[in-house]
Amino acid sequence: MTTRRNFIKKAAVGTAMLSFGGVLEGFSAKSYNNIVGANDKIRVGAIGVNSRGLALASNFAKQEGCEVNHVCDVDSRAIQKCASAIQKIAGNKVKTDKDLRKMLESKDMDAVIIATPDHWHAPAALLAMQAGKNVYLEKPCSHSPEEGEILVSGAQKYNKLLQMGNQRRSWPNVQEGIRELKNGIIGKVYYGKSWYTNNRPSIGIGKEVAVPDWLDWELWQGPAPRVAYKDNVVHYNWHWFWRWGTGEALNNGTHMVDILRWGMELDYPTKVTSVGGRYCYNDDWETPDTQIVNIEFGNNKCMTWEGRSCNGRGVEGSTVGAMFYGEKGSLLITGANAYTVYDLDDKVVKHVKSQIAIDPRNLMNPAEQLDALHIQNFFDGIRKGTPLNADILSGHKSTLLVQLGNIAQRSGHMLTTDHQNGRILNDCEANKYWGRTYEKGWEMKL
């Protein structure tokens, strides 16, 4: 008889198959806390631990065979909160730093978690690999397409693992749904639709004020060109400013576009368009709150992403999801560890339920227990050489699709792209957005 412990180990390396439908039922806190890895301990540092980073550091600390021994943040409050949480979970005290460059000098870390604002993701990941660390990087992997390409090259050059936080690639029922799709359950798939909705309030008009004493604003900006501190940026609203963030498209669209690309077995597109804008409020928010991205591929396949930041009405009964349309029917994957198959008459022919409640709008920790499987896959990559479920090449390809959507939005016209690498063809205006501007001395260098 297969024990739950053995199942979790198998799930982490992707060996369990159709039995995934209901195995996670009754996944208790005790069994969760005892997910087993190999005997050798992996020492981990966490960079950016205010919200999502705190959740990830706590999750890593709960894994047997892992020790979170270092935390880093430019917010002194976040450092203390995370350090206290780790000590409460695992019993060990952690080293602390506010400058990740100093932290990465430490020789007692095998890997780092990066959950900083988006403008820091790629520079921090590259510095970590150059310092000899494996990297667990939250989405998106980069702020610009050029950075994504640099990370792909960096992982090869420095021979380090770089797992992107597309956690659904490790969720058992989502894996099963993708297998069913590839095995032809709805025939040839030619169209994919994805979406994310929320009811985000206005961020208002920011005022220049003194930097809070708990924040190192210079380090927070890091690679980004310098501006004065305003009171409506830190901690979350930076997502909606192009200087630091990437909008809803990369903040949440990355996850569902990745599922579409995975299930439809697609790489790079041929055409990308985007419509939308900041429609709901008149404030400092720069990125679209309403956006529809259309992505065409060279084999009679296409996909769309719809983002509505300020109107939470769901699609297909869910605030977030991906729907595949094929010759024989449709397959739906929402924000849960579940999938549903419909025939051409819209009748349900198969439904695999999630046994764990998930809140896609939870900004910090929507699916801790399931995300442990993604963490274990990262550990198995380090210990055993197991292929990563979301390596950096895969992560870059999916991130690039929504980055191209943002570039089409900002340039105001359709992009024609090279199907071999996703690069924009014959378009000087759009190619201005392929890279980004750095504060002098912070440029990414292989």
- pLDDT value, residue 364: 55
CATH architecture of the region 169-206+216-360+392-431 = 2-Layer Sandwich (3.30)
> What digits encode the pLDDT tens for the residues 33-45?
433 334 489 999 9
| Residue 386 scores a pLDDT above 80 | yes
**pLDDT at residue 9 tops 70:** no
Q: Greater confidence, 194 or 30? A: 194
Residue 434 confidence class, pLDDT cut points 50, 70, 90: very high
| Confidence at residue 357, expressed as pLDDT on a 0 to 100 scale | 72
Report CA 348 to chain centroid distance, whole Å. Answer: 30
Tell me if 4-168 shares its fold with 169-206+216-360+392-431.
no
* Pairing verdict, β 42-47 and 66-72: parallel
Give 253-302 pLDDT, tens digit per residue. 999 999 999 999 999 999 999 999 999 999 999 999 999 999 999 999 99
What are the boundaries of each domain within the chain?
A: 4-168, 169-206+216-360+392-431
What pLDDT does 361 receive?
Answer: 62
Asked if the model's pLDDT at residue 387 lies above 90, the reply is yes
In whole angstroms, what is the distance from residue 58 CA to residue 55 CA?
A: 5
Are residues 425 and 418 in contact, defined by beta-carbon separation less than 8 angstroms?
yes
User: With 90 as the cut, is the pLDDT of residue 89 above it?
Assistant: yes
Query: What tens digit of pLDDT does each residue of 195-225 get?
Result: 999 999 999 999 999 999 999 999 999 999 9
Q: Nearest Cα to 103, choosing from 69, 126, 139?
A: 69
Tokens of 107: 């020789």
What pLDDT score was predicted for residue 305? Answer: 98
| pLDDT for res 7 | 36
**Architecture of the domain whose range is 4-168:** 3-Layer(aba) Sandwich (3.40)
- E strands, 258-318, where? 271-277, 290-297, 301-308
What is the tens place of the pLDDT at every residue in 301-354? 999 999 999 999 999 999 999 999 999 999 999 999 999 999 999 999 999 998
